[in-house]
Structure 1
Amino acid sequence: MPALDYPSHLVEDWQLRDGTPVRIRPIRADDLAMHTAFVDGLSKETGYHRLLSPRKPQPDELWRMTHIDYDHELALIATTEVDGGEQQMGVVRYVRGETPETAHVAEFAVVIADAWQHHGVAHKLMRKLIDAAATAGVKQLADITLYDNIGMLALARKLGFKLQRDPGNPNVTRLRLALDAPPTR
């Protein structure tokens, strides 16, 4: 993928409340090793909440998660320096529908490494993803989560998502957020 496609305007330096420096940026193909280590480091519970199953992503899935078609999807990661190297703290992503009729709706996902949960990383990443999706013309973000994923449900409520238990599967809650078009500058 040409470097010109990389949405560098989305790079942002930020700090946690305790002063920890964080860089938020779109994921790149050369992040594969770091992203693999991030996924491998997730607890069973965090991985289960993300994938709704105990399975682990396979190498081809991890490759796909880092090789992004920025016109169709976006993945933003939060990183910080740990022991002299860059470490991934979390990731959010959206993927647009496949057809022209569904391209304005995007599924989204968020996962934060266990050590970085409850530090505001998920909220900051999701706000940035919501803004980027609206700017890209996405009209709605939608996904599902387990009914007992208290952290995700609280975050979704805080961000204004509508939550609805799935009538066909009581273990699942549907999350939807209508996006407003960003103001023209």
Structure 2
Amino acid sequence: MRRVRIEDSQTMQGFVLGLSSASRRNRFHGSVNGASPKLIAYLVDADGVRHAAWVACIWGPDGEAIVGEAGWYVVDAEQGSAELALSVLDGWQGSGVASRLMTTLIAGARQAGLRHLYGDVLDVNLRMLAFMRKHGLEAGFDEPPDRGVERVSCVLR
């Protein structure tokens, strides 16, 4: 587990392309079919202030590979509010990678002085909704932006 680096672009591209179509739909809400340079730059260009991100990595025969990613993006600096997102390769789901990423993400948000985290989860993604509840994010704090989406959030103390 480590912070993402701009040098992770190629490895991140492999990660995104390695997600099943269902996992990509859950992570990006159906708006991503591949791994465009713009998307990859968005995921790896984290300054630690407005955007912070982490990756869970393993070493394999071809070097380092990303098996999970998580990050937050400040949406209202004055209120200390950020949107979070995370995803894990299908073969690694259920292994604890997402929990480690979420714990790291929340600790990083607190350390950065953020006061509120939220995430938008497709309402059919019951597994992720349960995961978010397990990590202290509940529905009802904010209105979801679209039909078919549940907004979960927590106040950081």
SS at match of 2:119: strand
For the pair 1:43 / 2:24, whether they are aligned, the reply is no
| Residues 5, 46 of structure 2: 8 Å contact kept | yes
| Residues 78, 121 of structure 1: 8 Å contact kept | yes
Correspondence for 1:96: 74
Query: Displacement of 1:101 after TM fit?
Result: 2.5
**Distance in 1 (alpha carbons) for counterparts of 2:4 and 2:23:** 20
| Residues 58, 64 of structure 2: 8 Å contact kept | yes
Q: Per the alignment, do residues 68 and 170 of structure 1 end up closer, same or farther by CA in structure 2, a change over 3 Å counting?
A: closer
With structure 1 as the length reference, what TM-score do the two structures score? 0.78
For the pair 1:70 / 2:16, whether they are aligned, the reply is no
Q: Per the alignment, do residues 168 and 136 of structure 1 end up closer, same or farther by CA in structure 2, a change over 3 Å counting?
A: closer
**Distance in 1 (alpha carbons) for counterparts of 2:77 and 2:101:** 27
- Which runs of 5 or more structure 2 residues have no equivalent in the other structure? none
With structure 2 as the length reference, what TM-score do the two structures score? 0.91
- Per-residue CA deviations over 1:51-89 (Å, capped at 9, x if unaligned) read 111523421221232122112111000001122511101
| Residues 166, 172 of structure 1: 8 Å contact kept | no
Correspondence for 2:39: 61
Correspondence for 1:175: 152
| Residues 32, 66 of structure 1: 8 Å contact kept | yes
Matches within 5 A, 1:9-24: 24=1
Q: Per the alignment, do residues 101 and 123 of structure 1 end up closer, same or farther by CA in structure 2, a change over 3 Å counting?
A: same
Correspondence for 2:10: 33
| Larger displacement relative to structure 2 (75-84 or 107-116) | 75-84
**Distance in 1 (alpha carbons) for counterparts of 2:14 and 2:91:** 14
**Distance in 2 (alpha carbons) for counterparts of 1:108 and 1:167:** 14
Bigger RCO of structures 1 and 2 (CA < 8 A, at least 6 apart): 2
Query: Displacement of 1:34 after TM fit?
Result: 0.3
For the pair 1:107 / 2:107, whether they are aligned, the reply is no
Of 103, 107, 118, 2:94 maps to 118
Instruction: Give the aligned residue type for 2:53.
Output: A
Q: Per the alignment, do residues 132 and 93 of structure 1 end up closer, same or farther by CA in structure 2, a change over 3 Å counting?
A: same
**Distance in 1 (alpha carbons) for counterparts of 2:123 and 2:147:** 7
**Distance in 2 (alpha carbons) for counterparts of 1:82 and 1:123:** 22
Identity over the aligned pairs, expressed in percent?
A: 30
**Distance in 2 (alpha carbons) for counterparts of 1:152 and 1:108:** 13
SS at match of 1:154: helix
- Which runs of 5 or more structure 1 residues have no equivalent in the other structure? 1-23, 181-185
Q: Per the alignment, do residues 100 and 43 of structure 1 end up closer, same or farther by CA in structure 2, a change over 3 Å counting?
A: closer
Q: Per the alignment, do residues 81 and 136 of structure 1 end up closer, same or farther by CA in structure 2, a change over 3 Å counting?
A: same
